[in-house]
Amino acid sequence: MIELFNAAEIGRLRTAGQFVAQVLEALRDAADVGVNLLEMDALAARMIAERGAESCYVDYHPSFGAMPFGKVLCTSVNDAVLHGLPHDYRLQDGDLLSLDFACSVEGWVADSATSLVVGTPRPEDLELIATTERALAAAIEQAQPGHRLGDISHAIGSVAREAGLGINLQFGGHGVGRTMHGDPHVPNDGRAGRGLPLQPGLVIAIEPWFLLGTDEIYTDPDGWTLRSADGSRGAHSEHTVAITEDGPEVLTART
């Protein structure tokens, strides 16, 4: 079911979005050579506890997960691009790290993701990250009342194709609000002018993710982490966006 939220409810989602943005900022600052992924997860868990918020991930167990996720943060490194389960791994120079974080603040959920390079970057990694960010910006620009969901999806796919990247449609954006994953599904490619009409009050997570090589993925033996089929690196960018009478509002905007 698709929910539309009023101004007061979007205000509560804005509060949740601001907290999610703060946690991702802290995680980006903490990411460094030698830092353990479990330390990153522990930092996010402390911030959740101090805020009196609730994790959306710990007990999350959809059909594609082998078991409840058990952590509060997704940490995807190099050829991992989505749902990276934090484990005992210390970041190395040049690692491409994607961080995906969602939580509930007083019953209202926001979701966001960011990618960065730890230490010395490879130019192709920086360009891949920049491409996901361009795709996200292009999609947000289309999140206007009167437009259609296909306009958002088409904007993402157009940026990917222009960069010569494949597009995987198994996972994409989604509705967000009282729960982390709701309707509508927001594919990372589509036809402009088609699909759900966008109305004020709709809140969606838009999340382009791309791989440098193949667009095929497989699930790691940990039962959660999604990796590229050919070992190529991936990047992921995501914001929670409210469609308002005045246009899109990014609820998880970072400073």
Tens-digit pLDDT profile for residues 58-116: 999 998 899 999 999 999 999 999 999 999 999 999 999 999 999 999 999 999 999 99
Domain ranges in the chain? 7-250
In this predicted structure, what is the pLDDT of residue 255? 83
In this predicted structure, what is the pLDDT of residue 167? 96
Q: Residue ranges for the binding site?
A: 83, 100, 111, 174, 181, 207, 238
Q: Residue ranges for the binding site for substrate?
A: 83, 181
The reply to whether the predicted model has a pTM over 0.85 is yes
232: helix, strand or coil: coil
For residue 183, the tally of other CB atoms under 10 A from its CB is 12
| pLDDT higher than threshold 90 for residue 165 | yes
- Report which of 64, 59, 96 is spatially closest to residue 83, judged by C-alpha positions: 64
Tens-digit pLDDT profile for residues 178-190: 999 999 999 999 9
Tens-digit pLDDT profile for residues 4-24: 999 999 999 999 999 999 999
Mean pLDDT to the nearest integer, 43-50: 98
The structural architecture, per CATH, of the domain 7-250 is Alpha-Beta Complex (3.90)
In this predicted structure, what is the pLDDT of residue 58? 96
Q: Residue ranges for the binding site for a divalent metal cation?
A: 100, 111, 174, 207, 238
- Work out the widest C-alpha separation in the chain, in whole angstroms: 48
Is residue 56 within 8 A of residue 102, CB to CB? The reply is: yes
